[in-house]
Amino acid sequence: MTANDRTGTKNAPPTNVDPAELRSFGRKRGRKPSARQEHLLAEALPNVAADLTHPLDTNGTDYRETWLEIGFGGAEHLVWQAEHHPDVLMIGSEPFEDGVIKALAAIEEKHLANVRIHPDDVRPLIRALPDASLSRAFILFPDPWPKRKHAKRRLVSPHTLDLLARVMRPGAELRIATDIGDYARTVLLAIRGEPRFRWTATTPKDWRERPADWPGTRYEAKAIREGRRRYFFKFMRV
């Protein structure tokens, strides 16, 4: 399950499975990796890969909180948060190989010790997490699946919110961003049906303007270039 592979929807798998478990991403690979990228996947990834048996194992390091980004795309947001919050364990899930490589390169370049990567569908990772273990979760500019027949593949859904509600502690924050008006409606309808989350906005500014501690991504930059409105939602686990 990814938030950011916007180019591979045509390669989606057959739909004769439980709709709640439909894959919300398309392709997992783009161009052939270079020798340097192959090295990162073979040598660097095992060192930072999230262990589904013990996903919060930090080799003795004591982190203040654990945050999860679902579908980190080019990893700009994931890396920024890890740099600015070295006392927080950042777990990023992204099945698209190009995005994983970008994250690995940044982790190595910036010597980030507080990042773990799950290079696949996020649902097994969420199921492996203990109850009330997350203080923050991010779903930023997910694949819009704009065709009506594909809307059931959208990442934000009652099923996803149910999974997240178990692993997010009371008071935890769920941040969701999109540049698609109909997706914003999907998000709000899903939240409306999930009493364990509450929308924290009190004025239009709260969802029209990106907060200072919420760095931009390449997907937001594309939305700006193409003249699309962006929506920045914050929800609290109650």
Instruction: Identify the pLDDT of residue 199.
Output: 98
Q: How far apart are CA 136 and CA 130, in angstroms?
A: 14
- Give the pLDDT of residue 151: 81
What class does CATH assign to 31-50+61-237? alpha beta
Which one of 87, 143, 206, 213 is the catalytic residue? 143
| pTM of the complete model | 0.88
Measure the CA–CA gap between 186 and 105, rounded to whole angstroms: 34
pLDDT at 238: 98
Q: How high is the pLDDT of residue 234?
A: 98
* Concatenated DSSP letters of the chain: --S---S-GGGPPPS-S-GGG------S--SPP-HHHHHIIIIIHHHHB--SSSTT--TT---SEEEEEES-TTSHHHHHHHHH-TTEEEEEE---HHHHHHHHHHHHHHT--SEEEE-S-SHHHHHHSPTT-EEEEEEES-----SGGGGGG-SSSHHHHHHHHHHEEEEEEEEEEES-HHHHHHHHHHHHT-TTEEE---STHHHHS--TTS---HHHHHHHHTT---EEEEEEE-
The pLDDT of residue 9 is 38
Q: What is the pLDDT of residue 230?
A: 98
Residues lower than pLDDT 50 in the chain: 1-2, 4-17
Pair 154, 186: CB distance under 8 Å: yes
| pLDDT value at residue 10 | 38
Active site annotation includes 143 = yes
Domain parsing of the chain, residue ranges = 31-50+61-237
